[in-house]
Amino acid sequence: MRILVAEDDKIIADGLARSLKATGYAVDVATNGLDADNALVANTYDLVILDLGLPRLPGLDVLKRLRSRQSAVPVLILTALDGTTDRVKGLDLGADDYMGKPFDLQELEARVRALTRRSSGTAPLIQCGALTYDQVGRVAQLNGVSLDLSARELGLLEILLSRAGRLVSKDQLVDHLCGWGEEVSHNAIEVYIHRLRKKLEPGVRIATVRGLGYCLEKPQDDARSR
């Protein structure tokens, strides 16, 4: 999943980016409102972490422009303001949650998981045949045994699970896995898929559609119910 962090405090932005990347998210950082707005126009994100006190374009204006484009991407507001007026404005403009500064990093990560889970419309525990995935703890199990997955493999699994039974192109995987400045080629995606496939099969199958992408196959019972 790909997250935009719009934060002008370099220490906070770098800390958020490092923490989120360590848990498997792709993260872009914008340090002013205009850059954040341009990024939101040009890219697709699964979540935006938005500081209200951005230079060049205030966070509330970034949010207003985002919602005027009919984007439903979840937005978590960060604010150092003590009053409630700006927080209320943010929620009224379409923000999904807010946290005051300073904030607890573990709580922020939990809210990130909750917002991305809510936006995908999935339950906390996803099951696909012998595979179960706990979105809260971000733990995957196959036949009740926990899988040892790298951050990249976990990111791939989340994307494929959220689109189980549907084709996902290599370009879509790159877009969701990679932030600015990260180079991940289609060949690298093939390597990650190969590693993930070895850990999932034969319990769960990732089908390759040559020249198009990949599909995490649903069990037959699920397929018949569609």
pLDDT band for position 12 (50/70/90)? very high
> Where residue 81 falls among pLDDT bands split at 50, 70, 90?
low
Asked if pLDDT for residue 123 goes beyond 90, the answer is: no
Number of Cβ within a 10 Å radius of residue 80: 13
- Cβ-based neighbour number of residue 66 at 10 Å: 23
Average of per-residue pLDDT across 132-136: 83
Spatial separation of the C-alpha atoms in residues 93 and 102, rounded to whole Å: 23
Q: What is the pLDDT of residue 108?
A: 93
- Residue 106 CB partners (closer than 8 Å, separation 6+): none
Q: How far apart are CA 83 and CA 90, in angstroms?
A: 12
Q: Domains in the chain, ordered, with CATH?
A: 2-120 (3.40.50.2300), 125-225 (1.10.10.10)
Centre a 10 Å sphere on the Cβ of residue 117 and count the other Cβ atoms it contains.
Answer: 17
Token reading at 201: 């099969």
> Peptide bond preceding 202: is omega within 30 degrees of 0, i.e. cis?
yes
Average pLDDT over residues 157-162: 89
For the cut 50, the answer to whether the pLDDT of residue 162 exceeds it is yes
Residue 226: the pLDDT is 42
C-alpha closest to that of 218 among 131, 119, 123 = 131
Q: Which whole number is the average pLDDT over 195-207? A: 91
Query: Mean pLDDT over residues 93-122, rounded?
Result: 86
